[in-house]
């Protein structure tokens, strides 16, 4: 089956530093990747949609200069949280679609970010 | 904006009972829906999906029902087991500026006691 791998699974960083999270589709080419954020006991909130070779499209309220997304290849997307603050601590999850439209999206295992 | 929501935040059942988890959606243009299961500290796991041209779809121990008239989606789990305990989300495939994306509802926590 389609597998999406996310790395790291957890990370602790100091305030003011930047953290990069990788999302890889292991056995398929992902034309579109998505980044979600999930706070405790809440739902997944879509942050941005990333099409390979294009700039990411951010949801309203998500700072594009703070959450840098790169989707340089059909198997890799990265999310960089720049100048992290404690309020950025959350569970970040990526997903990938093999083709556009109304098809299943496969999810990574998530990255727990803690900013101290 | 329009979003997907759930009626109940928690559902407690006994092992062996049938479980029904409901979801109300508001975007009438959505053409595809998925139910996901999420265990603590993990990413969502696909359970079953349904397209808008269908009313019902069955999988192994699970059934999804779609009522487009009242914009309602439900997940039925037969013979619920302790391993089914998790948070369940419905998601709708909604239009966004980049095409379409899965928008998640609030989630229902299912607790199964043996």
Average pLDDT, chain A: 93
Q: In the prediction, which pLDDT does A56 show? A: 93
* Nearest residue of B to residue A91, measured between CA atoms: B41
Averaged pLDDT for residues B73-78:
98
Query: Could you tell me which of A52, A55, A46 has the C-alpha nearest to residue A25?
Result: A52
Q: In chain A, what is the straight-line distance between the N-terminal and C-terminal CA atoms, in Å?
A: 37
- Whether A49 sits inside 8 A of B99 (CB atoms) is yes
Read off the pLDDT band of B1 (50, 70, 90): very low
Q: What is the per-residue DSSP string for B21-84?
A: EEEEE--TT--EEEEEEE-TTS--EEEEEEETT-SEEE-SSEEEEEETTTTEEEEEESS--GGG
A95: chain B residues, CB-CB within 8 Å:
43-44, 102
Q: In the prediction, which pLDDT does B2 show? A: 36
Which of B44, B97, B103 is facing A107, going by the closest CB pair? B44
Q: In the prediction, which pLDDT does B6 show? A: 45
**pLDDT (tens digit, 9 = 90+) per residue, A60-96?**
999 999 999 998 899 999 999 999 999 999 999 999 9
Best to test chain A binding among B3, B64, B101 (most A CBs inside 10 Å): B101
* Nearest residue of A to residue B43, measured between CA atoms: A109
Please check whether residue A102 is in contact with residue B94, taking contact to mean a CB–CB distance below 8 angstroms. Answer: no
Q: In the prediction, which pLDDT does B59 show? A: 95
**pLDDT (tens digit, 9 = 90+) per residue, A97-109?**
986 556 888 999 9
Averaged pLDDT for residues A36-59:
92
Q: Which residues of B touch A (CB under 8 A)?
A: 31-32, 34, 36, 41-46, 49, 51, 89, 93, 96-107
Average pLDDT, chain B: 91
Residue A59 DSSP label: P
Averaged pLDDT for residues B22-31:
88
B104: chain A residues, CB-CB within 8 Å:
36, 43-46
Averaged pLDDT for residues B32-47:
95
Share of chain B above pLDDT 70, in %: 93
Residue A55, CA atoms < 13 Å, CB-side half-sphere: 7
Which of B31, B96, B106 is facing A49, going by the closest CB pair? B96
Tell whether the model's pLDDT for residue B26 goes beyond 80.
no
């Amino acid at each position: 089956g389609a597998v999406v791998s996310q790395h790291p699974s957890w990370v602790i960083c100091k305030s003011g530093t930047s953290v990069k999270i990788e999302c890889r589709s292991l056995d398929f080419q992902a034309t579109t990747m998505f980044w979600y954020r999930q706070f405790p006991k809440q739902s997944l909130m879509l942050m941005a949609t990333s099409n390979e070779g294009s700039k990411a499209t951010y949801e309203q309220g998500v700072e594009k200069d703070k959450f840098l997304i790169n989707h340089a290849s059909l198997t890799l997307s990265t999310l960089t949280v720049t100048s992290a603050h404690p309020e950025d601590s959350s569970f970040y999850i990526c997903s990938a679609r093999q083709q556009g439209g109304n098809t299943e999206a496969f999810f990574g295992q998530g990255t727990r970010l803690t900013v101290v | 904006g329009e979003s997907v929501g759930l009626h109940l935040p928690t559902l407690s059942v006994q092992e062996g009972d049938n479980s029904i988890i409901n979801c109300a959606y508001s975007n009438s243009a959505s053409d595809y829906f998925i139910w996901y299961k999420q265990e603590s500290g993990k990413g969502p796991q696909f359970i079953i999906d349904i397209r808008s041209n269908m009313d019902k779809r069955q999988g192994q121990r699970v059934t999804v029902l779609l009522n487009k008239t009242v914009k309602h989606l439900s997940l039925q789990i037969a013979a619920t087991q302790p391993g089914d305990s998790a948070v369940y989300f419905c998601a709708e495939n909604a239009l966004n500026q980049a095409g379409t994306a899965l928008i998640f509802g609030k989630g229902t926590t299912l607790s199964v006691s043996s």
